[in-house]
Amino acid sequence: MDLIEIFLTTGFWAATIRIVSPLIFATLGELICERAGVLNLGIEGIMTIGAMAGWMWVYQGGDLWTGVMFAALVGGTFGLVHSIFTVYLGLSQHVTGIGVTMFASSLSYFIYRMMLPDATTPPKIIPFQTYPIPGLSELPIVGEAVFTQTPMTYLALLCVPIVWYMLYRTPVGLAVRMAGENPVAVEAQGIDVLAIRTGAVVVGSGLMAVGGAFITMSAFDAFFFGMINGRGWIAIALVVFASWRPGKALLGAVLFAGLEAFQVRAQQVAGASILPYQFYLMLPYLLSIVAMVIMARRARYPKALLVPYRRGERV
Amino acid sequence: MQIEPRANVSVLRAGLAPIIAVLAALVLCSVLIVWAGAPVLESYFLLFKGALGSRFALTETITRSIPLMFTGLAAAIAFRAKFYNIGAEGQLYCGALAATYFGTGLVVLPALLMVPFLMIVGALAGGLILIIPVLLKTHMKVDEVVTTLLLNFIILLLVSFLIEGPWKDPMAMGWPQAASIIDEGVLPLLMSKGRLHAGLLFALAAAFLVWVMMRFTVWGYEIKAVGLNAKAAEFAGIRINSTIIRTAMISGGLAGLAGVSEVAGLKGYLTLDISPGFGYTGIAVAMLAQLHPLAVIPAALFLSAVYVGADAMSRAVAIPTYIADVLVGVSVLCVLISVMLTKFKIRWR
């Protein structure tokens, strides 16, 4: 099989959509936080604890969908911690985020070990199964690639228009975007900037955690150590690449996932004859850096990103 | 709720802040110990006994603190300039790669020159890898946090490739590890028993030199000025970009030294697990030290004690060793609040 032929297989497109799902959740989550003016470097840890919490819920006998909700709730709680530090106390968003990541991921591993002290091979759950959408799934290529996925993938794809609508067509969305651009103007409208920012960070963190949960509850069926493997950081790069727009975030994530799906297949086709496997694995990280560099010149950061807001203080 | 700056920050409060933060972290983490069904005070006693209770434990704690001192200094100096270098982990491995490349037979010098030579090439390697993120920041406005983080993954994969491929030691019975550092390049042991090596002296010297630089030189003044208020620093004629680049080189170099000291001091050869996250823990060290170079020494010793002691504690009472990582993460968050409370007061209305 030729390398070009990979793009013609439905398997490639189906894999792309599968890989893109957690990235969509995570990227949208980070996008909401940053649009409100708060950089959330807790993302990597929040995804880890989301992956653990959702999986553990199901492993303990819970239902899959309540597991997703539980993951979102746990993620939102860590988002609340992040916003108490960065929004209410105005502490460094960088250091707090790193602290949240360290705390959340180590706590995930601790809880996992506490609940399963003797597990040598990671135990499995019955994850979300593919649910072909009647009618649509019979379409050529698209039917199998997009409409024969698990319900969580559909949820991810649905989140893009929902987040877009919320941000651009509702008063709450306007307040969120203003909180990230010009918080004084938000205050002038009689809206509580701190509450808006906190809400955005909590909701965004919930989405990140659902992205993590996708990995243990839909893509795989078990929780491993180091399973998120930098996906959170990649999502942050994708937010920059997307210029903080949900539609472009989807585009960037699909591009990224496509290249990821391609490299896995290229590895099988071309094998180690061209490149050792480590270099294939480097590609996603290299691409994220390249993506940031390409868009950086045109990047229009939310003006109040990283700037804590204190009521009554002149800017 | 209103946050008001305090008129003057008392030295006592500033000094106590990290200690109170650590105590708060210990109290918060005791919830997890209670959940594990172990007695809290006894568990913490076992932790510190495991870290400091015997001559062996004590040397082990000091040995493990050496890389943390280097990475802690790396984070402290970079964060001072508000250059968020989260890539100390990758820079550490770059230093280790350089030490392995030059130290396994390519260059042979007498021991008195060989050790400093390896330190220099390691520091250069750690600093040079940071060139990419720092130039992207100063010239393209690309955020350094994400680029340095992503580089960590890339460098680790590069190390994995080298020690499984071209650099693999054929004498290592199939283990993925590089050839041993030649005898001239190995850091001598400081004591006949235990693993404590001369890397400690380099780490202490580095802390002292960084302190002198920050305290008494123009470079240090510029780094602090850029971190406190870049705009004001620019008005005062400080060139921001060159200050940030210089800071990054020093920061990366310090992290690179951690790699050299682990390869040439502790292990003797490069493997993929020479660092269990020293780069990230270094950030916690720097925060506990409130970015003060000399305070990095006790902070590194303390966090090293937590890690060494947690191993002993989890053997004695059934608590997962991850408690150490949780404690470190919680400490970072606690120290942020406690340091803030030294500078501000919160008024509830």
Give contacts of B140 with chain A, Cβ < 8 Å. Answer: 293, 296-297
A240 vs B318: CB contact, 8 Å cut-off?
A: no
Tell me the three state secondary structure of residue A310: coil
List, in order, residues 6 or more apart from B154 with CB less than 8 Å away: A282, A285, A286, B90
- Residue in A154, A159, A195 with CA at minimum distance from that of residue A176: A195
Please give the C-alpha separations between residue A193 and each of A92, A205, B34, B58, B160, in angstroms, as whole numbers. 18, 18, 39, 50, 47
The span from the CA of B99 to the CA of B126, in Å, is 11
Nearest to A237 among B79, B140, B146 (CB): B146
**Which backbone phi and psi does A132 adopt, to 5 degrees?**
-65, 130
Determine the residue of chain A that is closest to B37 in CA distance: A114
Look up the domain containing A218 and give its range.
Answer: 4-114+169-296
Task: Look at residue A130 and tell me if it is in a domain.
Answer: no
B337 vs A91: CB contact, 8 Å cut-off?
A: yes
Give contacts of A285 with chain B, Cβ < 8 Å. Answer: 150-151, 153-154
Q: Are A34 and A239 in contact (CB under 8 A)?
A: yes
Strands A148-149 and B344-347: unpaired
Structure tokens at B297: 């020494």
B337 vs A103: CB contact, 8 Å cut-off?
A: no
- Residue in A287, A225, A204 with CA at minimum distance from that of residue A19: A287
pLDDT category of residue B64 using cuts at 50, 70 and 90: very high
A296 vs B142: CB contact, 8 Å cut-off?
A: yes
pLDDT digits (tens, 9 = 90+) for A5-43: 777 788 889 999 999 999 999 999 999 999 999 999 999
Number of compact structural domains in chain B: 1
Closest-CA distance of chain B to residue A22, Å: 18
Task: Say whether pLDDT at B12 is over 70.
Answer: yes
Closest-CA distance of chain B to residue A250, Å: 20
Closest-CA distance of chain A to residue B162, Å: 10
Q: Are A103 and B330 in contact (CB under 8 A)?
A: yes
pLDDT digits (tens, 9 = 90+) for B67-104: 999 999 999 999 999 999 999 999 999 999 999 999 99
Give contacts of B143 with chain A, Cβ < 8 Å. Answer: 240, 292
Q: Which residues of chain A register pLDDT less than 70?
A: 1, 271-273, 312-315
Task: List A residues 210-229 in contact with B (Cβ-Cβ < 8 A).
Answer: 229
Q: Are B296 and B283 in contact (CB under 8 A)?
A: no
Query: What pLDDT score was predicted for residue A281?
Result: 87
Query: What pLDDT score was predicted for residue A273?
Result: 64
Task: List A residues 14-43 in contact with B (Cβ-Cβ < 8 A).
Answer: 41
The span from the CA of B268 to the CA of B178, in Å, is 10
B147 vs A292: CB contact, 8 Å cut-off?
A: yes
Q: Are B296 and B69 in contact (CB under 8 A)?
A: yes
Query: What pLDDT score was predicted for residue B315?
Result: 86
Phi-psi region of B234 (alpha: psi -120 to 50; beta: other; left: phi over 0): alpha
Give one DSSP letter per residue of B199-242, joined into a string.
HHHHHHHHHHHHHHHHHHSHHHHHHHHHHH-HHHHHHTT--HHH
Query: What pLDDT score was predicted for residue A156?
Result: 96
Task: Look at residue A110 and tell me if it is in a domain.
Answer: yes
Chain center to CA of B66: 9
Number of compact structural domains in chain A: 1
pLDDT above 90 covers what percent of chain A? 66
* Tally of CB atoms within 10 A around B201: 13
Task: Look at residue A139 and tell me if it is in a domain.
Answer: no
Q: What is the identity of the amino acid at A313?
A: E
Look up the domain containing B80 and give its range.
Answer: 67-292
The span from the CA of B182 to the CA of A137, in Å, is 63
CB-based burial, A231-255: b 16+ in 10 Å, e otherwise: bbbbbbbbbbbbebbbebbbebbbb
The span from the CA of A296 to the CA of A289, in Å, is 10
| A254 vs B345: which has the higher pLDDT | A254
Site of tokens 């210029």: A243
Chain center to CA of B238: 28
Query: What pLDDT score was predicted for residue B330?
Result: 96
Tell me the three state secondary structure of residue A181: helix
* Contacts A–B by Cβ distance under 8 A: 134
Site of tokens 């409100």: A36
Paired strand residues for B197: B189
| B197 vs A144: which has the higher pLDDT | B197
Task: Look at residue A72 and tell me if it is in a domain.
Answer: yes
Mean pLDDT of B318-336: 93
Task: Look at residue A29 and tell me if it is in a domain.
Answer: yes
Task: Look at residue B57 and tell me if it is in a domain.
Answer: no
Task: Say whether pLDDT at B62 is over 60.
Answer: yes
Query: What pLDDT score was predicted for residue A313?
Result: 63
Give contacts of A297 with chain B, Cβ < 8 Å. Answer: 140-141
The span from the CA of A212 to the CA of A73, in Å, is 13
Terminal CA-CA length for chain B: 6
Which residue out of B2, B89, B135, B149 would a mutagenesis test of the A interface target, given it has the greatest number of A Cβ atoms within 10 Å? B149
Task: Look at residue B241 and tell me if it is in a domain.
Answer: yes
Query: What pLDDT score was predicted for residue A8?
Result: 75
Task: Look at residue A239 and tell me if it is in a domain.
Answer: yes
Query: What pLDDT score was predicted for residue A2?
Result: 72
Q: What is the mean pLDDT of chain B?
A: 92
Query: What pLDDT score was predicted for residue B349?
Result: 67
A218 membership: H or E segment, kind and range? none
Task: Look at residue A158 and tell me if it is in a domain.
Answer: no
Site of tokens 């409370």: B341
Mean pLDDT of B244-253: 96
Tell whether A185 is within 8 A of chain B (Cβ).
no
Site of tokens 């630089």: B213
Task: Look at residue A238 and tell me if it is in a domain.
Answer: yes
Q: Are A193 and A186 in contact (CB under 8 A)?
A: yes
Q: Are A201 and A77 in contact (CB under 8 A)?
A: no
Task: Look at residue B43 and tell me if it is in a domain.
Answer: no
Mean pLDDT of B115-124: 96
Task: List A residues 233-272 in contact with B (Cβ-Cβ < 8 A).
Answer: 233-234, 236-237, 240
Q: Are A238 and A288 in contact (CB under 8 A)?
A: yes
The span from the CA of B340 to the CA of A116, in Å, is 38
The span from the CA of A67 to the CA of A215, in Å, is 13
Query: What pLDDT score was predicted for residue A268?
Result: 79
pLDDT above 70 covers what percent of chain B? 99
Paired strand residues for B112: none
Query: What pLDDT score was predicted for residue B294?
Result: 96
Give contacts of B272 with chain A, Cβ < 8 Å. Answer: none
pLDDT digits (tens, 9 = 90+) for B24-37: 999 999 999 999 98
| B19 vs A268: which has the higher pLDDT | B19
Strands B344-347 and B2-5: antiparallel
Mean pLDDT of B273-288: 93
Task: Look at residue B47 and tell me if it is in a domain.
Answer: no
CB-based burial, B42-68: b 16+ in 10 Å, e otherwise: ebbebbbbbbeeeeebbbbbbbbbbbb
CB-based burial, B164-181: b 16+ in 10 Å, e otherwise: beebbbeeeeeebbbbbb
| A198 vs B184: which has the higher pLDDT | A198
pLDDT digits (tens, 9 = 90+) for A78-111: 999 999 999 999 999 999 999 999 999 999 999 9
